[in-house]
Structure 1
């Protein structure tokens, strides 16, 4: 991050507000191949027989590659699995990974398992340090295996709240206003209304998932929030649900950056399991949000310590 600031690519005041220390940057290759590597690792770590895998769901935002591959989900399935399985891609922005979780959970049965992957690698025009309002895109991939048998965690509930009324935020035409001051006032009101709606939808999503799981916020041991920067995780949200920042994985997230496919929470979950921070019986809340606009929350219960260790 220091190099980006020195090069004039990242505003030092924005860095100070958001608290990033470093960003994960892929060393060549394409996003789909990152997903293949993640899927292979997840399948190897799981207790699922590869022959039982019937579905791959791949969440992504940007170009996936490799060149000539039209459908990245099928590519990930073919390269990581080798057998036959359904495969489809899901593009739901920063809620993508948790949306894939909800969709995948509907398919799981006693004899059919699902592999969820997400991946992105910043290759678009522009600059990752200035394209967003402070949140910096990191490169990376995640993978999760869902099955009907034993595992390290049990999915208790998911909830997704969608509200697309503000998708045309940039659509206000200045020509329709008498002067620039009137236009800016209308734009400001629209932005404020949007923010209120987004914040309430995010809260409703968390409340809904907790209610479906039969839990209260105080029952959650670990909160896996999006790595969108310290400033964007507003204090009133933390206060409302009684979230101690120490019970999040932001100290990891500030070294990784924001995975724009919504994989942040799965990065955090893997970290908790690999390091032994998550103990048997802990309840974990995973959150995602997208300015598309959709908000997602999943609640898990840790059932067992994994046999695999960090780096394994």
Structure 2
């Protein structure tokens, strides 16, 4: 099966130095993570960003609307618009001229990769699938203070998956879940007297869970590569979550021969982390639209949700992007 098309909708780039100057972002944390800017959307809601991305991806795919059998929408936080209880159905109804299954999927920062595996299961039985994710930060805590591991960005992604032909062939997917880590969900900064106490507690938890998380991520990558009959040395591009540099697993990088030059961190550091897991989809779209990939290149997409699930997919580029790209 093939990726027929992809699309991305992002907000305006907000320089992180502005947040530092305004006292919103700790300069030491900014230095540790290396973000340059964050994607911040204006008016509108997350679900409408997903609708825009889906419409673009469907148009680019040239798939007949009648052949689309399922929409899988990955999300974490409130999607909107007001009064809409089921965002997946909303995205399907607004982006698609016809009927189709509409499934919402919530698996934290692994949601988008999980939607790829779920969509592939459907496509293997026939029809086409539209996969979307969307995030627009709206929590009470400032996005620059909410998570010491990443800064949340706003954005939506879409992918059309079908049989026949496309820009990339899906070789394998893998999800490794470990619910035993569910008690290690992020701490609530509001429970602490000050930021220093919060950071100390957060670091203590991070150190204790990183060992277990690293092994789960390694097992996931080993499995997805083996299923695709691909060695780490065969991978041209690694599309990883846009978490800050402080939490980069250098041991994982060393085992699989990953270096920053073969990731899309140069782009990710200007966007921030899409908490529904859209980061590798943004990266794939960027590679296709900039011509940074060649036919035959192997690409690994990876997602992870702290304490819950780790996902991966291997693609082989099959054709250049056929859709026009704006300036």
Map residues 177-192 of structure 1 onto 2, 5 A cutoff. 192=207
Q: How far, CA to CA, are the matches of 1:269 and 1:137 in structure 2?
A: 19
1:39 is matched with which residue? 54
Shift of 1:193: 4.2
Q: Which of 157, 166, 189 pairs up with 2:172?
A: 157
For the pair 1:168 / 2:153, whether they are aligned, the reply is no
Distance 1:220 1:188, change over 3 A: closer
Q: How far, CA to CA, are the matches of 2:325 and 2:272 in structure 1?
A: 20
2:276 is matched with which residue? 261
1:229 is matched with which residue? 244
Deviating more after overlay: 123-132 vs 160-169:
160-169
Q: How far, CA to CA, are the matches of 1:147 and 1:104 in structure 2?
A: 9
Instruction: Tell me the secondary structure at the aligned position of residue 261 of structure 2.
Output: helix
Q: How far, CA to CA, are the matches of 1:206 and 1:170 in structure 2?
A: 23
For the pair 1:103 / 2:118, whether they are aligned, the reply is yes
Q: Which of 144, 162, 166 pairs up with 1:147?
A: 162
For the pair 1:114 / 2:129, whether they are aligned, the reply is yes
Q: How far, CA to CA, are the matches of 1:69 and 1:311 in structure 2?
A: 32
Q: Which of 73, 78, 85 pairs up with 2:100?
A: 85
TM-score w.r.t. the length of structure 2 is 0.88
2:140 is matched with which residue? 125
2:65 is matched with which residue? 50
Instruction: Tell me the secondary structure at the aligned position of residue 257 of structure 1.
Output: coil
Shift of 1:292: 3.8
Shift of 1:51: 1.1
Larger radius of gyration: 1
Q: How well do the aligned residues superpose, as a CA RMSD in angstroms? A: 2.0
Q: How far, CA to CA, are the matches of 2:245 and 2:203 in structure 1?
A: 23
- Give unmatched runs, 5+ long, in structure 2: 1-15, 187-201
Q: How far, CA to CA, are the matches of 1:96 and 1:110 in structure 2?
A: 22
Q: How far, CA to CA, are the matches of 1:119 and 1:289 in structure 2?
A: 16
Distance 1:67 1:236, change over 3 A: same
TM-score w.r.t. the length of structure 1 is 0.92
Deviating more after overlay: 40-49 vs 51-60:
40-49
2:235 is matched with which residue? 220
Shift of 1:17: 0.8
Are the aligned partners of 1:100 and 1:116 in contact in 2 as well (CA < 8 Å)? yes
Shift of 1:110: 7.2
1:209 is matched with which residue? 224
For the pair 1:246 / 2:261, whether they are aligned, the reply is yes
2:302 is matched with which residue? 287
Shift of 1:243: 1.1
Q: How far, CA to CA, are the matches of 1:19 and 1:170 in structure 2?
A: 24
Shift of 1:124: 1.5
Per-residue deviation, residues 4-60 of structure 1 (Å, max 9, x unmatched): 101111111111111000000001100000000000000011031111000000000
Are the aligned partners of 1:110 and 1:147 in contact in 2 as well (CA < 8 Å)? no
Shift of 1:3: 1.1
Shift of 1:204: 0.7
Are the aligned partners of 2:55 and 2:95 in contact in 1 as well (CA < 8 Å)? yes
- Give unmatched runs, 5+ long, in structure 1: 172-186
Q: 1 or 2, which has the higher strand percentage?
A: 2
Aligned residues: 299
Distance 1:20 1:110, change over 3 A: same
Distance 1:80 1:190, change over 3 A: closer
